Amino acid sequence: MLLIPALRSGLRPLVALGHSSFSTLTTSAAAVEAERTTRDGPRNDWSRDEIKSIYDSPILDLLFHGAQVHRHYHKFREVQQCTLLSIKTGGCSEDCSYCPQSSRYDTGLKAQKLMGKDPVMEAARKAKDAGSTRFCMGAAWRDTIGRKTNFNQILEYVKEIRTMGMEVCCTLGMIEKQQAEELKKAGLTAYNHNLDTSREYYPNIITTRSYDERLETLQHVREAGISVCSGGIIGLGEAEADRVGLLHTLATLPVHPESVPINALVAVKGTPLQDQKPVEIWEMIRMIASSRIIMPKAMVRLSAGRIRFSMPEQALCFMAGANSIFTGEKLLTTANNDYDADQLMFKILGLTPKAPSFSEAGTGTSVEPERWEAAVSL
Ligand code: SF4
């Protein structure tokens, strides 16, 4: 065993390294924690300072060690293609500052009713034919309370899409315990509910529901045995400390989310965030590689904002640990990457489409309510 001094603040004064598979020992937090993660497995007791030290590691070192962890836990060439369809667009009562679907902002988006079964199934079949293995349905609602008819309709969609052999995900706003159980019974693989940003910055972005309400929905999803999909958005005007705060909340949940979408804001005219500066690729890489190191088993999804990144830039994201993208013409209401360009990217980068996985659903069933509540301090 070799003892090396830690050079960065936030690290323990001495760090013990066992026999390392890495050819070069460095003292960046990314190097130390990547080595520990591959040796000891995932952990949920991260401190903010530890995550900050990883996040602040020199970018190439962070990228390299994100890649190390990625290769240890995943088939590094595999990238899952998911399709996200907005099944109920616009007219949402919430005030999420980034969202063109909020009825509070004049974005020119026309509110629509829940899509009927035929067009949804057609979209799912089309997505499957195009290589998607996860089909996500999004509805612009605060929650599903008082929407029994629509909710039952969605349960039917979930059941039918599962028979196509695809993973099925929904993002319908806040859900109660019983609704989570019904979705589970219908065969839902995953439920998406992003935390968006840190607890501290959150009130600057949304005022119509609290951070704790978001966490409560994640708890209901987890307790129902549905796989949790939860990540955030960068480029909202938050500080780096808020990005670290978001990662800290996700990585200290009793069980890490099985899926962590990392979104770059797509600033839409008419929303309060319309003039935000676009996120740079280095910021995405920091988020992706940090997520990969601290939540090594999660699917890290390179999500909204991908359209702005070139193929080499996206390649760096895959190298850092991203292993999923959203394909299809639109990502809810904003433009997404072109299908042919994505196919060409898979070919050039030697990526292989990931097959659907149904074993990940249900991994959260063992979290007792007390353990969850202690972890998130609801
Ligand atoms: S992000 Fe979701 S909850 Fe927020 S305004 Fe948009 S559709 Fe509504």
pLDDT (tens, 9 = 90+) of the chain, 378 residues, equals: 333 333 333 333 333 343 444 445 558 999 999 999 999 999 999 999 999 999 999 999 999 999 999 999 999 999 988 998 999 999 999 999 999 999 999 998 889 999 999 999 999 999 898 888 899 999 999 998 888 999 999 999 999 999 999 999 999 999 999 999 999 999 999 999 999 999 999 999 999 999 999 999 999 999 999 999 999 999 999 999 999 999 999 999 999 999 999 999 999 999 999 999 999 999 999 999 999 999 999 999 998 888 899 999 999 999 999 999 987 666 666 767 778 888 899 999 999 988 777 654 444 434 555 555 655 544
Same domain, 17 and 99: no
Same domain, 230 and 249: yes
Q: Which long-range contacts (CB under 8 A, 24 or more apart) does 157-165 make?
A: 157/87, 157/117, 157/120, 157/121, 158/183, 158/186, 158/187, 158/188, 159/186, 159/187, 160/117, 160/121, 160/124, 161/121, 161/124, 161/135, 162/186, 162/187, 162/189, 164/124, 164/125, 164/128, 165/128, 165/356
pLDDT of residue 305: 87
Same domain, 219 and 257: yes
Establish whether residue 99 lines the binding site of ligand 1, counting it when its CB lies within 6 angstroms of any ligand atom. Answer: yes
Last residue of a domain, one of 48, 73, 98: 73
Same domain, 28 and 94: no
Same domain, 14 and 143: no
> 61 lies in which domain range?
2-73
Distance 36 CA to ligand 1 centre (A): 38
Distance 57 CA to ligand 1 centre (A): 34
Short-list 182, 138, 139, 189, CA closest to 161: 189
pLDDT of residue 228: 96
Place of tokens 């999804």: 301
Same domain, 20 and 118: no
Q: Alpha-carbon distance 255 to 366, whole Å?
A: 9
pLDDT of residue 331: 61
pLDDT of residue 81: 87
Short-list 366, 350, 340, 323, CA closest to 134: 323
Single-letter amino acid, residue 92 = C
pLDDT of residue 19: 40
Q: Alpha-carbon distance 196 to 90, whole Å?
A: 19
**Cβ contacts of residue 166 below 8 Å, gap of 6+?**
124, 127, 128, 132, 133, 134, 135, 356
3-state secondary structure of 378: coil
Establish whether residue 102 lines the binding site of ligand 1, counting it when its CB lies within 6 angstroms of any ligand atom. Answer: yes
Q: Across-strand partners of 76?
A: none
Short-list 179, 181, 178, CA closest to 365: 181
Same domain, 142 and 203: yes
170 is catalytic: no
pLDDT of residue 17: 40
Establish whether residue 196 lines the binding site of ligand 1, counting it when its CB lies within 6 angstroms of any ligand atom. Answer: no
Same domain, 20 and 116: no
Residue 349 φ then ψ, to 5°? -85, -5
Q: Alpha-carbon distance 196 to 236, whole Å?
A: 9
Q: Alpha-carbon distance 260 to 234, whole Å?
A: 13
pLDDT of residue 297: 96
Residue 159 φ then ψ, to 5°? -60, -45
Same domain, 243 and 299: yes
Atom of ligand 1 nearest to the CA of 92: 8
3-state secondary structure of 341: helix
Last residue of a domain, one of 13, 46, 73: 73
pLDDT of residue 20: 44
Total domains in the chain come to 2
Q: Are 5 and 13 within 8 A, CB to CB? A: yes
Q: Alpha-carbon distance 127 to 121, whole Å?
A: 10
Same domain, 339 and 254: yes
Short-list 357, 335, 330, 351, CA closest to 126: 330
Last residue of a domain, one of 73, 94, 112: 73
Establish whether residue 97 lines the binding site of ligand 1, counting it when its CB lies within 6 angstroms of any ligand atom. Answer: no
Q: Alpha-carbon distance 190 to 138, whole Å?
A: 12
pLDDT of residue 354: 83
pTM: 0.87
In the chain, alpha helices (H): 29-40, 48-55, 59-73, 117-129, 148-163, 177-186, 202-205, 211-223, 240-251, 281-294, 311-320, 339-349, 369-376
Taking CA atoms only, the protein residue closest to ligand 1 atom 4 is: 96
The domain that holds 364 is classified in CATH as 3.20.20.70
Same domain, 47 and 94: no
Q: Across-strand partners of 92?
A: 102
pLDDT of residue 367: 54
> CA angle 357-291-85, nearest 5°?
50
Same domain, 315 and 346: yes
Q: Alpha-carbon distance 229 to 36, whole Å?
A: 25
